[in-house]
């Protein structure tokens, strides 16, 4: 019979077999892993029944709570009917329905699927380059991103990411892209000291000057601008004004 899983033995087995992401494994010599047996709504529960409030929604992924009954029922129903089929040369009703709903919500055209956020960013960068290539503009190879941006950790996504802890070791592998200043720094500071509406709309205007300068001086080489809309997560939940998004577009 297999050994009963406990908080203690699962942590030891994990440290001996799993390379935990975004982690310096040495930290776990002093800072223990949290063993999780199950999840319920906003709570995670360990093997001894201790509950933890999942305040970060498991990296902002479980926005509708753990073991959400409606989501779980849909997953079970789907897995019993069709667990997987390749999408090259084949199609099925869930992918068509989702794509139609996404198109309606976004006003964009066809949906292309990746396996995670970083691969979605890779796909977007490639699509943008490919578009310009089809237009005969093969020099448009550079991407513009904001200071402090985080777009994932595959090589292409990391090349538009500006968070030192993820990027520094791999610098020599990354394309030389263009960074523009984070917009509305004043807005962030003033949010805590009482800011005026006028100040908010002024600051993106000021900071978009640098974006404007880069676009006008490098437009022949630029393929796309990539942004985390309104909030930079990994940089520390830094907010910026919707005006900046509108003006950038």
Ligand X SMILES: Cc1ncc(COP(=O)(O)O)c(C=O)c1O
Q: Is there a contact between 228 and 150 (Cβ–Cβ < 8 Å)?
A: yes
238 counts as binding ligand X under rule CB under 6 A? no
Q: Is 233 in the site for ligand X (CB under 6 A)?
A: yes
| Strand order across the 178-180 sheet | 178-180, 142-146, 222-226
Q: Is 142 in the site for ligand X (CB under 6 A)?
A: no
Q: Does 222 bind ligand X (CB under 6 A)?
A: no
Minimum distance from CB of 124 to ligand X (Å)?
10
Asked if 229 is part of the footprint of ligand X (rule: CB under 6 A), the reply reads no
Stretch that binds ligand X, among 68-76, 80-88, 147-155, 188-196 (CB under 6 A): 147-155
Residue 174 to residues 138, 158, 202: CA-CA distances in angstroms? Answer: 19, 7, 34
Beta strands in 85-211 (DSSP E): 142-146, 178-180
> What H or E segment, with its residue span, contains residue 165?
helix 164-167
- Beta carbon nearer to ligand X, 60 or 192: 60
Strand 43-45, strand 51-53: pairing: antiparallel
Stretch of 37-45, 49-57, 149-157, 185-193 lying at the interface with ligand X (CB under 6 A): 149-157
Rule CB under 6 A: say whether 117 interacts with ligand X. Answer: yes
116 lies in the site for ligand X, by CB under 6 A: yes
Candidates 124, 129, 144, 150; binder of ligand X (CB under 6 A) is 150
**Interface mask toward ligand X for 152-191; x: CB under 6 A:** x---------------------------------------
With respect to ligand X, which residue has the nearer C-beta, 142 or 151? 151
Q: Is residue 211 within a helix (H) or strand (E), and if so which, with residue range?
A: helix 197-218
Q: Which residues bind ligand X (CB under 6 A)?
A: 116-118, 121, 150-152, 228, 233
């Amino acid at each position: 019979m297999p050994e009963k899983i406990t908080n203690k033995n699962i942590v030891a087995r994990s440290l001996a077999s799993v390379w935990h992401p975004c982690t310096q494994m040495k930290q776990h010599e002093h800072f223990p892993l949290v063993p999780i047996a199950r999840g319920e709504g906003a709570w995670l529960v360990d093997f001894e029944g201790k509950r933890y409030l999942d305040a970060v929604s498991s990296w902002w992924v479980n926005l509708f709570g753990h073991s959400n009954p409606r989501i779980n029922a849909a997953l079970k129903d789907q897995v019993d009917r069709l667990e997987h089929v390749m999408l090259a040369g084949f199609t099925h009703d869930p992918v068509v329905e989702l794509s139609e709903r996404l198109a309606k919500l976004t006003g964009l055209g066809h949906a292309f699927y990746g396996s995670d956020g970083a691969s979605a960013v890779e796909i977007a960068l490639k699509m943008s380059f490919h578009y310009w290539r089809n237009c005969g503009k093969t020099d448009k190879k550079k991407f513009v991103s904001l200071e402090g941006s985080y777009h994932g950790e595959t090589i292409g996504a990391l090349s538009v990411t500006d968070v030192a802890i993820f990027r520094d070791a791999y610098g020599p592998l990354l394309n030389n892209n263009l960074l523009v200043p984070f917009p509305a720094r004043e807005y962030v500071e003033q949010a805590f000291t009482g800011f005026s509406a006028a100040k908010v709309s002024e600051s993106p205007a000021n900071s978009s000057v640098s974006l404007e300068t880069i676009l006008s001086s490098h437009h022949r080489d630029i393929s796309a601008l990539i942004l985390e809309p309104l909030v930079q997560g990994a940089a520390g939940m830094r907010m910026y004004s919707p005006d900046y998004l509108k003006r950038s577009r």
